[in-house]
Amino acid sequence: MKDQEMSPKQIMLNYGLILGFASILINVVLYAAGKTYDQHWSVGVVSIIITVAVIILGIKKIKELNNGFLSLSEALKTGLGIALISGLIAVVYTLIFTNFIEPEFFARMMEVQQQKMLEAYPNFTDEQLEASMEMAKKMSGPVMTSAIAIIGSLFLGFIIALIGGLIMKKSDEEITSI
């Protein structure tokens, strides 16, 4: 299919699918390596780099589709569309993972968090630890995790699209004023 035949929705869908499946791939590799519960900080950095790259490439493709012109609103719409699609894919994967592949995920994650809390704060009283774990329990679970994932994906997509759009924007007025 030629680039000229692609619509902005198709670009958002294609790049959203790429980003969503990249996210799944990272999680599958972590699971296979036994690092699901204790991830290195570099995993987050790699995930953010991939997210930035895919969203920027999607915005660049929109700019190419518009013969080199790009408005900030087009960049934001594209970035948010890509982020939403990838966020939804990540949520579906997480629901499948936590219900079928690793049904004890939330319970094990709570144990890991409790252990890390005890290591970081050795002077925690039992009441403080219990209150912290109760709050963590409320924040975990399929519904809350899904909501946080989608909101986080949209927020990150907005920031990336805003910065990318400000850098790459180009309008007719800019050309005629030169």
Residue 96's closest CA among 13, 14, 19, 24? 24
pLDDT by residue, tens only, the chain of 178 residues? 444 468 999 999 999 999 999 999 999 999 999 999 989 999 999 999 999 999 999 999 999 999 999 999 999 999 999 999 999 999 999 999 999 999 999 999 999 988 988 888 888 888 988 888 888 888 888 899 999 999 999 999 999 999 999 999 987 665 555 5
Give pLDDT, residue 125.
86
Q: Are 89 and 24 in contact (CB under 8 A)?
A: yes
Give pLDDT, residue 175.
52
Length of the chain: 178
Give pLDDT, residue 123.
87
Give pLDDT, residue 126.
87
CA distances from residue 3 to 43, 70, 97 in whole angstroms, order as listed:
33, 16, 36
Instruction: Say what angle helices 72-96 and 142-168 make with each other, to 10 degrees.
Output: 150
Residues 6+ apart with CB under 8 A from 145: 94, 98
CA distances from residue 178 to 52, 67, 172 in whole angstroms, order as listed:
31, 18, 10
Give pLDDT, residue 154.
98
Tell whether the torsion through CA atoms of 77, 80, 86 and 91 is positive or negative.
Answer: negative
Q: What six digits make up the tokens of 150?
A: 């989608």
Q: What six digits make up the tokens of 22?
A: 């990249």
Place of tokens 């680039």: 3
Please state, in angstroms and rounded to a whole number, the distance separating the CA atoms of residues 32 and 39: 12
